[in-house]
Amino acid sequence: MRWHGRGRRNRLREFVAVLVARLVGKSDLGERKTDRMQQLTEEIMGHARMVSKYVGRQTIGVEVDELAFRLRETTYNIVTALIVLEKQGRANRARTAGYWKLHAQPLGTYSEVSESNDNRTQVRP
């Protein structure tokens, strides 16, 4: 049997990790998985903030396959992270399958930076 793609390798790697954890009796596998999922949700929101800043909108649409490619993750992990974000109120499912809406606070726009620079007091020598 041939193994195609990263998805199957990741699933095999995860299966072996679970098997080893059960044989050795390690219980921190679930904690590591939770930490990785938290990290992935932050990476997704970072991407959303970047796109939000570029397009000038707080709500942006993302495609699961594109996020998986961009973040080098499986689509399963991306969907799991998006479900976590949905529970936190930071994402919603779109009407089209495979698409989600992310609610991102933009990092700041050029005009905000420009205004803050104009409001600074200037020191004259």
Residue with tokens 């699961």: 64
Task: Give residue-wise pLDDT tens across range 77-117.
Answer: 999 999 999 999 999 999 988 899 999 875 554 444 445 44
Give the integer Cα–Cα distance in Å for 100 and 91.
7
Model pLDDT, residue 42: 92
Reading across the β-sheet that carries 59-63, which strands appear in turn? 59-63, 99-103, 91-93
| Residue 90, phi then psi, degrees to nearest 5 | -105, 0
Model pLDDT, residue 117: 46
Domain 5-118 of CATH type 1.10.10.10: yes
Nearest partner of 76 among 9, 18, 7, judged by Cα: 7
Specify the pTM.
Answer: 0.60
Task: Give residue-wise pLDDT tens across range 61-70.
Answer: 999 999 999 9
Give the residue extent of every domain in the chain.
5-118
